[in-house]
Each structure stands twice: as C-alpha cells, then as structure tokens.
Amino acid sequence: MSLLTHLLSVIVATNPPALAVSNEIQQATGISVTVPDTNDPVERELDKLMMEDDAAQAEVDKWIRDNADFFKEGAGVPNAELNKRIMERFASVRKGYEDFLRRHPDSAHGYLAYGSFLNDIGEEYEASLQYEKSRELDPKNPAAWNNLANYYGEFSPVTNAFAYYAKAIELDPSEPVYYQNFATTVYLFRKDAREFFGINEQQVFDKALALYLQAMKLAPDNFPLATDYAQSYYGIRPLRTNDALVAWTNTLAIARDEVEREGVYLHLARIKTSISQFDEARALLAAVTNAALADMKKHLVRSLADHEHPQTNVVDEATNSPVTISTNSVPVSTNAPAPAK
C-alpha cells in the first residue's frame, strides 16, 4: 500500500471535519502519546517536534482532500506525484525524530512519539519496534502497552493484544479508550478469546459488552463509543433484543446533531421491525429525512414491508423457476408521525 493510499483510507474511514491525520488515527484506534507537562528541556524539545509532526500531517491531509476535490472538477495531480510530495514533506519529520533519539536514546516518550508518527504513515511494523523500545524504557507507561496491543490486534498474535490491553488498564484504569480497544478486540476475535480466557462464546460477548460499558462509564457522552457498543448486539445470536433497544435508546440521548439522531432512528427501526413492532418502526423511518441516509432508509422500508406482509414463493411451470409474489399488495407508508425527540 502506498503512503497516499494509507492516508486516504484513514480519511475515508474516519471522515471527520478537517483534522490532522495523526489526530484521526488516535480517535479511530486509540493510538496515544503522552508527554509530561514539565520544564524538562528534553521534553520541551520533543513537544516542539510533535507539534511539527502534527502540522506536517495536517498539511498533507489538506493536500489529499484538495486534490480529491480537484479531480472531481477534472483537475488534480496524479497519485504518484502527490505521493512523492507527501514523502518529501514527511522526510523532515522523520529526520527530526531520528536526530532527537540519537541525542536522547533513553527518551521513552520520544520512541512512543516516533512510533505514532510511523504508524500514521503506514509503517506499522517499524512503529511497533519504537513502541517496544518505549515500553522497555518505561514499563509503567500505559500508552506504550495500548499501542503495542493495537499492533498485535491487527497483525497478531492477538493473544498479545489481550494481555497488553489488560496491562494498560491495570496501569491506568481511568482511560476509556483502553477498555474500548480491548472490547473491540475481544468481540472481533471471539475464537481466540474463547481459548485465551477459557470461556464460551456467550461469555465472550458478555466480556466484550462489560468492557464497553466500563468505557462508557468513563466517557458517558462519547457518541461513537456508544454506537460501537450498541452495534455489537447485531453479532450476538440470539439477539438480545431488550438490551439492544436500551443501548440504542441511550445512544439517541447523546446524539450530537440531527444526522446522528436520524442514524439511530434507523437502528431502532431495524430492531423494532425484527420483533414485529411495525407501527413504531414505521414512525421512526418516517422521521429520517437526511439524503445521506436515504439508501439505508430505503432498505429498511423494504425490510419492514417484507416482515409486515410476508411473501410466498411459487413455481413458474413454464420455466420451473421460483417466482416471488406478495400475499398483500398494501403499500408501506412512511408518512407516520415522527417520534418525539
């Protein structure tokens, strides 16, 4: 993967308002760098270097977005040319970190910051080596354990991720992102979690949900976190319907704007459709008016119709092929009153 492709994938995946790529990755993955606020000249030098790092990544972020807009208008530069420009811009940042670490080889925070920079630009293995050096120099810094756990969660062995997230939480039980990362990894790697913790699949779900809940206690207004927690119920069979509805209702309460609220309406409608609460589902769908959600709304309206008016399959004798016909042709209205906000 090219550097440009990696950075563009980060922008597309996170899709926040214009933020530095480094900040986007921290929000998305929990990558963190902690620099003490002291009068230590070494730490002040590192702090300045990290600000230069953020400035470079913010500039690159803007280049990528601007070039994408130019392409829509038939302009823009080829990806290879833009990638070369990005590489040149980051070269000075890399050199700055390398020079700093040559002069301060015992700076645990320096290795952690350099590792975060390397991770940001898609050099994950090289980043993990810097995190490891940081951990060796300062084994009581939870950020190094968390960042290494992120690496092992992506590149294996995932059992290292389980152990390292647990260590990060032990060192700093007040940081919600550690619980969230741990929860996500347990949820995604259920087979490994079953074997590592010696529990069954439902207990794995319970463990992941408990970690999410702990994160939410520490960050009760974090909408993306609440959304991750609520979405996790979709993977549990049988669906824990009441718990899922409570999770989405609580998520709705902390939605930050109308788009987020309407997105939650869709999730609530999906669950209510599955348990035959058709009128409530229809009202929720009627409240969704944002164009960005139109495709998902259309899919759920169709799903509501299928659940409310089941279809019957018959065979076309001429072709011996199944033909689906509706047993009720009543159209589905989306003009029901909107739910209270």
Contact present, 47 and 163 (Cβ < 8 Å): no
**Which of 138, 166, 183 delimits the end of a domain?**
138
Does residue 97 surpass a pLDDT of 50? Answer: yes
pLDDT average, residue stretch 183-208? 98
Looking up tokens 């470079």 gives 56
Does residue 297 surpass a pLDDT of 80? Answer: yes
For residue 183, give the nearest of 220, 158, 214, 223 by alpha carbon. 214
First to last CA, the chain: 44
Binned at pLDDT 50, 70 and 90, residue 81 comes out as confident
Position 302 in a domain = yes
For the chain, the domain total comes to 2
**Which of 114, 138, 162 delimits the end of a domain?**
138
Position 35 in a domain = yes
**Lowest-confidence region among 19-28, 80-89, 134-143, 308-317:** 19-28
For residue 316, give both structure tokens: 């076309």
Position 75 in a domain = yes
Position 226 in a domain = no
Position 91 in a domain = yes
Instruction: Give the domain extent around 33.
Output: 1-138
Q: How many helices (H) and strands (E) does the chain have?
A: 16, 2
Half-sphere exposure of 300 (CA within 13 A, CB side): 28
Q: How far apart are CA 162 and CA 147, in angstroms?
A: 12
215-271 pLDDT per residue, tens: 999 999 999 999 999 999 999 999 999 999 999 999 999 999 999 999 999 999 999
44-68 pLDDT per residue, tens: 999 999 999 999 989 988 988 888 7
Question: Residue 25: what pLDDT?
Answer: 34
Position 237 in a domain = no
Average pLDDT, the chain: 85
Question: Residue 9: what pLDDT?
Answer: 52
151-183 pLDDT per residue, tens: 999 999 999 999 999 999 999 999 999 999 999
**Which of 122, 138, 154 delimits the end of a domain?**
138
Does residue 288 surpass a pLDDT of 80? Answer: yes
User: Phi, psi (5° rounding) for residue 206?
Assistant: -60, -40
